[in-house]
Amino acid sequence: MSALTWLLASILAWMAMAPRPCAGSNESNSECQGLDKKVVALINQYTELRERRRHLPEAAYDKDLRDYGGKLHSVLQSLGTELGHPPYTKKIIVGCLGEPDAIWNNGQMAPYLGIYERELRKTGREPKAKRDREYLVYHWRGGHDFMFFINEGGLIVDHGWWFAYE
């Protein structure tokens, strides 16, 4: 590897790992304006942790990112509680948290709704099947553990979790 190639590779690696402004900290982001300061702080934490997770090598372990009750898990739980219901919208969620790791329809989400439906029944609520639901999926530990927001026609109606229990 030539010195120039090594230098360019080093600069690109540094740029990829350099902190970027968080979606929630951007004062011009109108989607996040007016949100409670606690929620904005959670959004900022989430965007920082998400970036850290994206740059974590596959075999690397970081308790803040991977442990149940770790920072990323706790922040996602709190964001679900704070934003996972009306009057919040898909536009607000995506504008503040960034693009979801996946957007699934009912058919794609069906295998993962068991835990969500069980938890609803524990609270005395019955799951309501809607054909036009869209699920905004935000990964916690890769694609096997995640939190999701349920979107119906632009309105967030609930949120839930899928755990692989590994």
- Residue 132 has a pLDDT of 84
19 within a domain of the structure (yes/no): no
96 within a domain of the structure (yes/no): yes
Closest CA to 138 of 87, 80, 58, 82: 80
- Residue 18 has a pLDDT of 40
Query: What's the domain range around 78?
Result: 32-162
**pTM of the entire structure?**
0.78
5 within a domain of the structure (yes/no): no
The strand pair at 155-162 and 142-152 is best described as antiparallel
17 within a domain of the structure (yes/no): no
Percent over 70 (pLDDT), the chain: 81
Give the separation between CA 114 and CA 96, rounded to whole angstroms. 28
103 within a domain of the structure (yes/no): yes
Closest CA to 94 of 127, 45, 137, 59: 137
Give the separation between CA 44 and CA 25, rounded to whole angstroms. 6
Give helix 37-54 / helix 90-97 axis angle, nearest 10°: 60
10 within a domain of the structure (yes/no): no
Number of structural domains, the chain? Answer: 1
- Determine contact, residues 104/151, Cβ cutoff 8 Å: no
- Spatial CB neighbours of 61, under 8 Å, sequence gap ≥ 6: none
Q: Is 25 helix (H, G, I), strand (E, B) or coil?
A: helix
- Residue 129 has a pLDDT of 67
What's the pLDDT tens digit per position in 69-127?
999 999 999 999 999 999 999 999 999 999 999 999 988 998 888 888 888 888 888 77
Work out the number of other CB atoms within 10 angstroms of the CB of residue 29. 16
Displacement of CA 63 from its chain's centroid (Å): 17
12 within a domain of the structure (yes/no): no
112 within a domain of the structure (yes/no): yes
Closest CA to 75 of 106, 50, 110, 100: 50
pLDDT over 90 at 130, yes or no? no
- Residue 90 has a pLDDT of 97
